[in-house]
Amino acid sequence: MKIYDYQDSEVYQKAFEFQQSIFHVSQQFPKEELFSLTDQIRRSSRSVGACIAGAWEKRRYVNHFRSKLSDALSEHAETKHWLCTARACEYVDVGTYSDLESSHGELR
């Protein structure tokens, strides 16, 4: 399948689905986490897709393209950290954490 736009990319689509899952789960976090954990996990999960979109625009310049994809991986790792933190704080139950962890792994 030929990709005409970053939105056609399977990895972008998975990143977008994952960010939406994170958004819905984080709506249940305590209000005192609104400007810390909630903001951090939403921001980093959204940055993955944004970096992929940016990489698409830089695709003609191999080093820039790789750099943006590297940024996406970095944001992806940060999201995993915040997800682990949410689980440790018991804001996310074991089943939901497992589902998100599985989705997270698909993006690697």
- The architecture that CATH gives domain 10-106 is Up-down Bundle (1.20)
Q: What is the mean pLDDT of the chain?
A: 95
What does the DSSP 8-state code read for residue 107? T
Mean pLDDT of 69-94: 97
CB neighbour burial string for 71-102, b if at least 16 within 10 angstroms, e if fewer: bbeebbebbbebbebbbeeebbeeebbeebee
Alpha helices in the chain (DSSP H): 10-26, 39-57, 62-88, 94-106
Mean pLDDT of 51-79: 97
Q: What is the pLDDT of residue 104?
A: 76
> How much of the chain exceeds pLDDT 70, in percent?
100
Mean pLDDT of 36-62: 97
The pTM assigned to this predicted structure is 0.92
pLDDT in tens, 2-40: 899 999 999 999 999 999 999 999 999 999 999 999 999
Q: What is the pLDDT of residue 37?
A: 98
